[in-house]
Amino acid sequence: MTSKRVYNFSAGPSMLPLEVLEKAGSEITNYRGSGMSVMEMSHRSKVFLEIFEEVKADVKRILKVPDNYHILFLQGGASLQFAMAPMNLISKTGKADYAITGNFSKLAYKEGIKYGTCNIAATTEASGHTYIPSQSELKLDKDASYFYYCANNTIYGTEWKYIPDTGDVPIVCDMSSNIISKPVDVSKYGIIFAGAQKNMAPAGVTLVIVRDDLLGMELPYTPIMMSYKTMVEKDSMHNTPPCYNIYMLGLVLKWIDSKGGLEGMEKIRTERAKILYDFLEESKLFKSPVRPDSRSDMNIPFITGDEALDKQFIKEAEAHGFVNLAGHRTVGGMRASIYNAMPIEGVKALVEFMKEFERKNK
Ligand SMILES: Cc1ncc(COP(=O)(O)O)c(C=O)c1O
């Protein structure tokens, strides 16, 4: 048990900004004179609809979402989008292209093949997903209904540094682990989706941004809850939306404004990641398994090469207030997930701790 907040390096759900938690706490029993918590409000009430409209407007403004796109707040996590995207898009030609660069794009591919022919445009599986393929390595089909990729591979710590050029083929992108960490050109995408629980809000809401011309092509057996068209027509309220999570996302977006918007976030993320990567380069004990040009600024795996020492490191780190540093159960080692809410001081303190651990374990 600890009475103070720890540096939480969890891959998700992850840290939220302290200011956001405090603001939510101050409004938890009586939201701005409404006499009730946001958790207790009807989603059709005037007071909630005001919150909802403001959050939607803030997503549009902060991500510079063009007018021919719709903003949806859905449930089912990012994982539901693995099925929802093909069910809504693949009917155009019956085919889609997938880049498999980690666990989540593989899961998306496995969903996709249930609904049509999915070609593997690239896979980094043989390398242990240690890099991102270049544009020339993508085997693209110009008749694909869409091209699918995952912008940041949470488990393997790789991140796409470019938006693939797919010609007229719409891009579907899973941005769960790097959304709102840097500016993004939404106009290059057909669909962007992201589970909230890393950079945006508590788990339970999935942000989906969908281009208008991609609506209305769902397969006939698509459940109504999984039709983008229905959700657009009902403004995300075919059923009760995840109201409290949407409100929390709103608070996070105001916090992002206070930090200089997405340009501000990008500056901080670059600086924060550089501190850890610079140390990994100079360390004789710890090293990054990821090819330098593909390294993520959000999830940074590292290893000592000795499993017992890795375990000892994780245990000692936890005792010093650096928690959730174990790598994903499928890959082992360590991983520091450093999303928007992780202060730079958290990474500096972690590096100091790593230096000390290295000195003691030479
Ligand atoms: C990149 C990415 N995509 C998808 C998921 C799955 O998200 P969810 O648990 O919201 O379904 C995760 C979860 O960690 C993720 O990191």
If asked whether residues 67 and 150 sit together in one domain, one would say yes
65, two tokens: 């979402």
Query: 8 lies in a domain?
Result: no
AA letter at 284: K
If one residue of 75, 79, 100 were mutated to test the ligand 1 pocket, choosing by the most ligand atoms within 8 A of its CB, it would be 79
State if residue 159 touches ligand 1 by the CB under 6 angstroms criterion: no
Domain containing residue 203: CATH number = 3.40.640.10
Cα gap 104→121, rounded to integer Å? 15
Ligand 1 centre to CA of 296 (Å) is: 16
If asked whether residues 309 and 207 sit together in one domain, one would say no
Ligand 1 centre to CA of 287 (Å) is: 25
Query: 337 lies in a domain?
Result: yes
State if residue 183 touches ligand 1 by the CB under 6 angstroms criterion: no
3-state secondary structure the chain: CCCCCCEECCCCCCCCCHHHHHHHHHCCCCHHHCCCCHHHCCCCCHHHHHHHHHHHHHHHHHCCCCCCEEEEEECCHHHHHHHHHHHHHHHHCCEEEEEECCHHHHHHHHHHCCCCEEEEEEECHHHCCCCCCCHHHCCCCCCCCCEEEECEECCCCEECCCCCCCCCCCEEEECCCCCCCCCCCHHHCCEEEEECCCCCCCCCCEEEEEEHHHCCCCCCCCCHHHCHHHHHHCCCCCCCCCHHHHHHHHHHHHHHHHCCHHHHHHHHHHHHHHHHHHHHHHCCCCECCCCHHHECCCEEEEECCCHHHHHHHHHHHHHCCEECCECCCCCCCEEEECCCCCCHHHHHHHHHHHHHHHHHCC
Query: 15 lies in a domain?
Result: no
Cα gap 42→36, rounded to integer Å? 11
Final residue before a domain boundary, out of 222, 257, 292: 257
State if residue 97 touches ligand 1 by the CB under 6 angstroms criterion: no
State if residue 202 touches ligand 1 by the CB under 6 angstroms criterion: no
If asked whether residues 76 and 162 sit together in one domain, one would say yes
What is the tens place of the pLDDT at every residue in 31-53? 999 999 999 999 999 999 999 99
Domain containing residue 289: CATH number = 3.90.1150.10
The atom of ligand 1 lying closest to the CA of 11 is 14
Hey, whose CA ends up nearest to atom 9 of ligand 1? Answer: 77
> Which residue carries 């706490």 as its tokens?
25
Count of domains observed in the chain: 2
If asked whether residues 167 and 246 sit together in one domain, one would say yes
If asked whether residues 200 and 273 sit together in one domain, one would say no
Ligand 1 centre to CA of 239 (Å) is: 23
State if residue 79 touches ligand 1 by the CB under 6 angstroms criterion: yes
Ligand 1 centre to CA of 59 (Å) is: 20
If asked whether residues 155 and 99 sit together in one domain, one would say yes
Query: 286 lies in a domain?
Result: yes
If asked whether residues 203 and 78 sit together in one domain, one would say yes
If asked whether residues 173 and 204 sit together in one domain, one would say yes
If asked whether residues 164 and 209 sit together in one domain, one would say yes
Query: 14 lies in a domain?
Result: no
Block mean pLDDT (10 aa), the chain, length 362: 87 97 98 97 98 98 98 98 98 98 98 98 97 98 98 98 98 98 98 98 98 98 98 98 98 98 98 98 96 98 95 97 93 95 97 98 88
The answer to whether the beta carbons of residues 54 and 67 sit under 8 Å apart is no
Ligand 1 centre to CA of 175 (Å) is: 9
State if residue 78 touches ligand 1 by the CB under 6 angstroms criterion: yes
Query: 11 lies in a domain?
Result: no
Q: How remote is the C-alpha of 159 from its chain's centroid?
A: 11
If asked whether residues 33 and 154 sit together in one domain, one would say yes
pTM above 0.85, yes or no: yes
If asked whether residues 114 and 206 sit together in one domain, one would say yes
321, two tokens: 């207030």
Final residue before a domain boundary, out of 240, 257, 274: 257
246, two tokens: 């949407």
Query: 12 lies in a domain?
Result: no
AA letter at 339: Y
Final residue before a domain boundary, out of 257, 277, 307: 257
If one residue of 75, 100, 177 were mutated to test the ligand 1 pocket, choosing by the most ligand atoms within 8 A of its CB, it would be 177
Ligand 1 centre to CA of 159 (Å) is: 15
Domain containing residue 345: 260-360
What is the tens place of the pLDDT at every residue in 126-165? 999 999 999 999 999 999 999 999 999 999 999 999 999 9
Query: 171 lies in a domain?
Result: yes
If asked whether residues 216 and 267 sit together in one domain, one would say no
